[in-house]
């Protein structure tokens, strides 16, 4: 038995005469789309388009500066660990935002149906996009914590090995479901396609257990860590105003940079927690309304645009420009 079953045979069944083929869709499909759901999809698609445009533009801009860094910076920005983490977060945001552009496809077809090729594509993009976004946000939080409390710089070899490992892990976790269950793994689930209700265990093991490490309230956990680190640094050393201490100046710069990095986990939680709560509620057989999913989806679609705005605000703290 092949690992991934034939898509055509899975999606169609023959009538008794064998002369016609009809799609076999999940019970969670909508055909046609309810008016309220269609409006919600339009909102999700529009916000997704904004995020796709902003993240793609910024990724292009950053890539250009990575190649021609000597024109803009004193050191290659590709070796700046904070910068690399944010760059990879934007790559994850782009994939997640891209999934919401398929809302326009469903609107044009006046239906949300699956299993289908479009449904599989949307489910795949949402799965890898949201999963990897959570992992990169967690990586930023951990990196910030190490800088503040440990006052250490992660060795370059270990850091870039971890970067590659995160992507390998995210891709593997995304492949496992379709490889085990076929194209029917991604079906309509609320206002878009994702892991079907019949695969609740897979939702927990392949998605929520990992990215919701940050969602087990990093906004408080990491903020508390930052506060503890701040106290540790400020209480262990007293610097005289009359003495210019290069180490103290460097430490203060780390503190400022770390303070800006804390906003990434906080933003992620604020934008994705409503959907996580809705999914958990659905697993408890208290299904939220389609309107709720549309609002939660619109917030999640905004992750890319919000992270772009945060990068623009924090970039001067991450990369030192060429002076003079």
Q: Which long-range contacts (CB under 8 A, 24 or more apart) does 257-260 make?
A: 257/82, 257/147, 257/314, 257/317, 257/318, 258/144, 258/147, 258/148, 258/226, 258/229, 259/226, 260/313, 260/314, 260/317
Q: Maximum Cα–Cα distance for the chain, whole Å?
A: 94
- Residue 279: how many other CB atoms lie within 10 Å: 23
Which tokens hold the place of 133? 């976004």
Q: Name 102's Cβ contacts closer than 8 Å, sequence gap at least 6.
A: 45, 118, 121, 122, 125, 192, 193
On whether the CB atoms of residues 82 and 36 are closer than 8 A, the answer is no
305 within 8 A of 50, measured Cβ to Cβ: yes
Give yes or no for residue 295 having a pLDDT over 70: yes
Please report the domains of the chain, with CATH numbers, ordered by start residue: 33-317 (1.20.1070.10)
Mean pLDDT of 254-263: 70
**pLDDT tops 60 at residue 55:** yes
Retrieve residue 79's tokens: 């070796």
Span 65-75, pLDDT tens digits: 999 988 888 88
pLDDT score of 216 more than 50: no
- The model's pLDDT over 128-185, given as tens digits with 9 standing for 90+, comes to 999 999 999 999 989 888 877 777 889 999 999 999 999 999 999 999 999 999 999 9
**Could you tell me which residues are beta bridge partners of residue 30?**
112
Q: How far apart are alpha carbons 53 and 60 in whole angstroms?
A: 11
Coil vs helix vs strand at 14: strand
Q: Given this model, what pLDDT does residue 5 score?
A: 42
- pLDDT score recorded for residue 77: 85
**Contact yes or no for 271/303 (Cβ under 8 A):** yes
**Mean pLDDT, the chain, as a whole number?**
80
Sign of CA dihedral 312, 272, 266, 214: negative
First to last CA, the chain: 66
Predicted TM-score (pTM) of the model is 0.80
Mean pLDDT of 109-127: 96
Specify the DSSP class assigned to residue 274. Answer: H
Using the CB atoms, write b or e for 251-266: b if 16+ within 10 Å. beebbebbebbbbbbb
d(CA 129, CA 171): 10
Residue 211: HSE in the Cβ half-sphere, 13 Å Cα cutoff: 27
User: How many angstroms separate the CA atoms of 272 and 307, rounded?
Assistant: 13
């Amino acid at each position: 038995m092949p690992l991934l079953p034939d898509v055509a045979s899975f999606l169609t069944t023959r009538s008794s005469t064998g002369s016609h083929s009809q799609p076999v869709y999940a019970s969670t499909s909508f055909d046609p789309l309810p008016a309220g759901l269609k409006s919600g999809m339009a909102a999700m698609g529009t916000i997704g388009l904004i995020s796709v445009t902003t993240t793609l533009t910024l990724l292009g801009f950053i890539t250009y500066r990575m190649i021609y860094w000597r024109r803009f910076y004193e050191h290659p920005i590709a070796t700046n660990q904070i910068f690399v983490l944010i760059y990879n977060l934007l790559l994850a945001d782009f994939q997640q935002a891209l999934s919401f552009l398929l809302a326009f496809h469903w609107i044009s077809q006046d239906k949300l149906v699956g299993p289908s090729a479009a449904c599989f594509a949307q489910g795949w993009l949402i799965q890898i996009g949201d999963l990897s976004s959570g992992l990169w946000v967690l990586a930023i939080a951990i990196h910030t914590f190490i800088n503040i409390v440990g006052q250490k710089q992660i060795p370059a070899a270990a850091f870039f090995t971890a970067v590659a490992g995160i992507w390998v892990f995210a891709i593997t976790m995304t492949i496992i479901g379709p490889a085990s269950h076929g194209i029917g793994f991604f079906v309509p689930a609320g206002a878009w396609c994702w892991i079907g209700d019949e695969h609740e265990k897979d939702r927990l093991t392949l998605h929520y257990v990992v990215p919701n490490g940050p969602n087990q309230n990093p906004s408080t956990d990491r903020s508390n860590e930052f506060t503890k680190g701040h106290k540790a640094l400020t209480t262990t050393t007293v610097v005289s105003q009359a003495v210019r201490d290069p180490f103290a100046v460097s430490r203060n710069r780390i503190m400022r940079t770390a303070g800006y990095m804390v906003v990434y986990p906080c933003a992620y939680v604020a934008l994705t927690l409503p959907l996580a709560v809705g999914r958990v509620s659905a697993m408890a057989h208290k299904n939220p309304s389609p309107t709720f999913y549309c609002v939660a989806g619109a917030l999640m679609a905004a992750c890319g645009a919000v992270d772009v705005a945060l990068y623009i605000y924090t970039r001067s703290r991450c990369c030192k420009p060429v002076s003079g």
